Amino acid sequence: MIVVKVGGGTSLNIDAVVADLVALRASGTDLLLVHGGAQTTNAVAEALGHPPQFVTSETGHVSRRTDRRTLEIFEMVYCGQLNKMWVEKLQTAGVNAVGLSGLDGRIFEGTRKDTLRIKVDGRRLVLRDDWTGTVEKVNTHLLRLLMKEGYFPVLTPPGASTVGEAINVDGDRAAAMVAGAFGAEALLILTDTPGLLRAFPDESTLITEIPRAHADQFMQYAEGRMKKKVLGAVEAIAGGVRKVIFADGRIEQPLSRALAGGGTHIQ
Amino acid sequence: MIVVKVGGGTSLNIDAVVADLVALRASGTDLLLVHGGAQTTNAVAEALGHPPQFVTSETGHVSRRTDRRTLEIFEMVYCGQLNKMWVEKLQTAGVNAVGLSGLDGRIFEGTRKDTLRIKVDGRRLVLRDDWTGTVEKVNTHLLRLLMKEGYFPVLTPPGASTVGEAINVDGDRAAAMVAGAFGAEALLILTDTPGLLRAFPDESTLITEIPRAHADQFMQYAEGRMKKKVLGAVEAIAGGVRKVIFADGRIEQPLSRALAGGGTHIQ
């Protein structure tokens, strides 16, 4: 089993990812796709007059402020526009894809963190009515049920809280949990860089190999959105995934080339 | 098995529908939910600067012009905003709901009609690049698979064309096809009226009983959106559904009261 995580970056070569998924699947590889949509969500939120807000926690983490209206826009983009785009592309390529959010059947389940402690200009504030959380449990039963019958699950945030509310969960860390829950052979994270870079954005500084025992030391090289991806990788490795690969999602045959050694391999 | 179709009308009592679904399900009734979202789609399309367009076919039928951008907005609202709203409400009420569009696993499959022949001011025009179709086949395999394991499918348009493209399909007629495919005991269509009215909008002119053999003669009483609902009812009856009920979705216990005799019963 290989879990593929595709970001929402607009420079990704989506048709190349689809063609490669179809080819790998035809060769008998068990696959699961998890996709994001942060960039598109920002654009739609702007267009709908509810621009994205990002907050910095007391511990220095940057995250999206997810009030109820943001959650609704998030669902429109992740579960509507993008999930159905992936499903349609796979269906027209002959794969019987089934698009699901982590809320459906509680595929991604975790505790809701309804209060955010943040820092603004050095002052501490508490934000309530937030709809975020972290995936703690994956409904592998539902995913296995579908895969066994030949369906190809295409997964996306949000997740479900322990009482069934929709929560904004990080897609990379959700994909890491899925890979861990299945004891996957590999978690393949496609981004708009060639992999993890020692000196971002200089692509000639690609780190090709990271020994699994030292994965967390490489957090220092992660910039911006890449931080959560490396955190996801560290969690996946800790959860029993054999290999995590950060690879370039802008090129042709992005999956095959990553599995053949491209990008950053953590193992 | 009872198939419940809920329109996208904003005056529907959604929480009452959810509470009643939960109660009926707990009493052992097999249920499937199909929902729409036309009204909300119109509002979001306006907000995103791509206002809805309706066209009249040569034969006099009014339908939504579904260009590619409209299809995307349609998916955002039906599959994102509204489908996940229903799933979240059911999940928080303790039902393990799984939201799916008709594109997923090709649950609603039909032929795409990519060319619309319309009349504008008496002149004939041909519109191309349209993404609409009619459901001809229901993937009961996937729905049975989920229901057998205790999941509650929450279905919504779009559907899939025979080659896997997303197509705008009518929700009422899709629900009728689902009810027919399962040989359902009843198809229950909730709207924002007490049922089919002999003199719309006068609610005192409710038609309470229609003999199944004469269902199509009642098309004359259907106004606007109700036309497709009655067409769906006629198709459901022809497809072997034992009973079609048009009932009020604005009241408390809308399902139980409809099943106990409320609304318009076609049988």
pLDDT of residue B144: 98
| Interchain CB contacts (distance < 8 Å): A and B | 131
Model confidence pLDDT, tens digit, residues B239-251 = 889 999 999 999 9
The C-alpha of B235 sits at a distance from chain A's nearest C-alpha, in angstroms, of 27
Nearest neighbour of A92 by CB, restricted to B44, B101, B163? B163
Model confidence pLDDT, tens digit, residues B57-105 = 888 878 889 999 999 999 999 999 999 999 999 999 999 999 999 999 9
pLDDT of residue B216: 81
The C-alpha of A20 sits at a distance from chain B's nearest C-alpha, in angstroms, of 18
Nearest neighbour of B79 by CB, restricted to A80, A141, A151? A80
pLDDT of residue A84: 98
- Comparing C-alpha atoms, which of A47, A103, A98, A39 is closest to residue A75? A103
ipTM above 0.90, yes or no: yes
Quick check: B261 and B194 in contact, CB under 8 A? no
Distance CA A183, CA B19 (A): 39
Residue A188, token pair as written in the block: 């393949």
Residue of A35, A88, A143 to mutate, interface with B, max B Cβ within 10 Å: A88
Closest A-chain CA to B161: A92
Residue A71, token pair as written in the block: 């959650």
- Comparing C-alpha atoms, which of B53, B145, B134, B162 is closest to residue B98? B145
The C-alpha of A11 sits at a distance from chain B's nearest C-alpha, in angstroms, of 19
Quick check: A189 and A245 in contact, CB under 8 A? yes
- Cα dist from B162 to A91, A98, B110, B111, whole Å: 10, 16, 6, 6
Query: At CA B158, angle to CA B153 and CA B162, rounded to 5?
Result: 105
Q: Binning pLDDT at 50, 70 and 90, where does residue B222 land? A: confident
b/e map of B219-240 (b: 16 or more CB within 10 Å)?
eebbeebbebbbbbbbbbbebe
What does the H/E/C string look like for chain A? CEEEEECCCCCCCHHHHHHHHHHHHHCCCCEEEEECCHHHHHHHHHHCCCCCCEEEECCCCEEECCCHHHHHHHHHHHHHHHHHHHHHHHHHCCCCEEEEECCHHHCEEEEEECCEEEEECCEEEEECCCCEEEEEEECHHHHHHHHHCCCEEEEECCEEECCCCEEECCHHHHHHHHHHHCCCCEEEEEECCCCCECCCCCHHHECCEECHHHHHHHHHHCCCCHHHHHHHHHHHHHCCCCCEEEEECCCCCHHHHHHCCCCEEEC
Q: Which residues of A touch B83 (CB under 8 A)?
A: 79-80
Give all domains of chain B, ordered by start, each with its CATH number.
2-266 (3.40.1160.10)
Q: Which residues of A touch B87 (CB under 8 A)?
A: 101, 103-104
pLDDT of residue B115: 86
Q: Do A151 and B79 touch (CB under 8 A)?
A: no
Q: Could you tell me the pTM of the whole model?
A: 0.96
The C-alpha of A158 sits at a distance from chain B's nearest C-alpha, in angstroms, of 9
Residue of B41, B44, B79 to mutate, interface with A, max A Cβ within 10 Å: B79
pLDDT of residue B119: 85
Model confidence pLDDT, tens digit, residues B119-160 = 888 889 998 889 999 999 999 999 999 999 999 999 999 999
Quick check: A140 and A103 in contact, CB under 8 A? no
Residue B242 DSSP SS3: coil
- Comparing C-alpha atoms, which of A95, A82, A35 is closest to residue B105? A95
Helix axes of A140-148 and B140-148: crossing angle, nearest 10 degrees: 140
Residue of B98, B131, B156, B168 to mutate, interface with A, max A Cβ within 10 Å: B98
Nearest neighbour of B77 by CB, restricted to A80, A97, A98? A80
Closest B-chain CA to A162: B92
Quick check: B101 and B79 in contact, CB under 8 A? yes
Q: Which residue has the tokens 């994909």?
A: A175
Q: Which residues of A touch B94 (CB under 8 A)?
A: 164
Closest B-chain CA to A159: B88
Q: Which residues of B touch A72 (CB under 8 A)?
A: 81, 85
Model confidence pLDDT, tens digit, residues B257-267 = 999 999 999 99
The C-alpha of B40 sits at a distance from chain A's nearest C-alpha, in angstroms, of 12
Q: Is the pLDDT of residue B184 over 90?
A: yes
Each residue's pLDDT, cut to its tens digit, for chain A (267 residues) gives: 999 999 877 789 999 999 999 999 999 999 999 999 999 999 999 999 999 999 888 888 788 899 999 999 999 999 999 999 999 999 999 999 999 999 999 999 999 998 888 888 888 999 888 999 999 999 999 999 999 999 999 999 999 999 999 999 999 999 999 999 999 999 999 999 999 999 988 999 999 999 988 888 888 888 777 888 888 898 899 989 999 999 999 999 999 999 999 999 999
- Cα dist from A80 to A43, A84, B65, whole Å: 15, 6, 19
pLDDT of residue A219: 81
pLDDT, average across residues B186-190: 97
pLDDT of residue A245: 97
Quick check: A137 and A109 in contact, CB under 8 A? yes
- Cα dist from A134 to A113, A119, A173, B66, B163, whole Å: 8, 21, 8, 38, 38
Distance CA B182, CA A159 (A): 31
What is the amino acid identity at position A45? A
Q: Enumerate the H helices of B5-113 as residue ranges.
A: 14-26, 38-47, 68-75, 83-92
Residue of B18, B22, B87 to mutate, interface with A, max A Cβ within 10 Å: B87
